[in-house]
């Protein structure tokens, strides 16, 4: 399968579906990006069940900013609409294949439970800090 050009207009539609989407944030002037491209393309041909997308960070600066892309290439893995991996740096072919295997093996029910627990903890931390501050002020 060939790679898909991802833009602000189609990103949410492509990545929001069930299944795995790999995203390569790149630019034409980036040497490591250019060297990684054939590896990414070969992997896309091996894994027809996975969507391989590419975001040209020069043309899609707002999209790169949305994901706080500070170094390219950056590889992102999205499964069932959830970002499960993001890391800057070109991966060797074996590491890319290993990443795909790990994303395929994820228990998405468990991932969603962990995300929910993390959100709950993040929301309770400010309240806990306020309670502790108020208690300290009464001492």
Q: Which residues are catalytic?
A: 30, 33
Q: Computed over its alpha carbons, how large is the radius of gyration of the chain? A: 19
Q: How many angstroms separate the CA atoms of 12 and 23, rounded?
A: 12
Whether the Cβ atoms of residue 124 and residue 132 lie closer than 8 Å to each other? no
Whether the Cβ atoms of residue 53 and residue 6 lie closer than 8 Å to each other? yes
Close Cβ partners of 108 (under 8 Å, ≥ 6 residues apart): 79, 80, 82
Q: What is the DSSP letter of 72?
A: S
Q: How many angstroms separate the CA atoms of 79 and 37, rounded?
A: 22
């Amino acid at each position: 399968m060939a790679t898909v050009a991802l833009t602000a207009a189609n990103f949410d539609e492509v990545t929001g579906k069930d299944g795995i989407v790999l995203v390569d944030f790149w630019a034409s002037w980036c040497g490591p990006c250019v060297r990684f491209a054939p590896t990414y393309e070969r992997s896309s041909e091996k894994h027809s069940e996975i969507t391989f997308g590419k975001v040209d960070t020069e043309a899609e600066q707002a999209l790169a900013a949305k994901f706080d892309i500070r170094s390219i290439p950056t590889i992102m893995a999205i499964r069932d609409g959830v970002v499960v991996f993001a890391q800057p740096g070109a991966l060797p072919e074996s590491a890319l294949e290993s990443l795909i295997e790990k994303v395929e093996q994820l228990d998405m029910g468990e991932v969603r439970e962990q995300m929910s627990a993390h959100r709950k903890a993040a929301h309770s931390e400010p309240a806990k800090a306020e309670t502790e501050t108020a208690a300290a002020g009464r001492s």
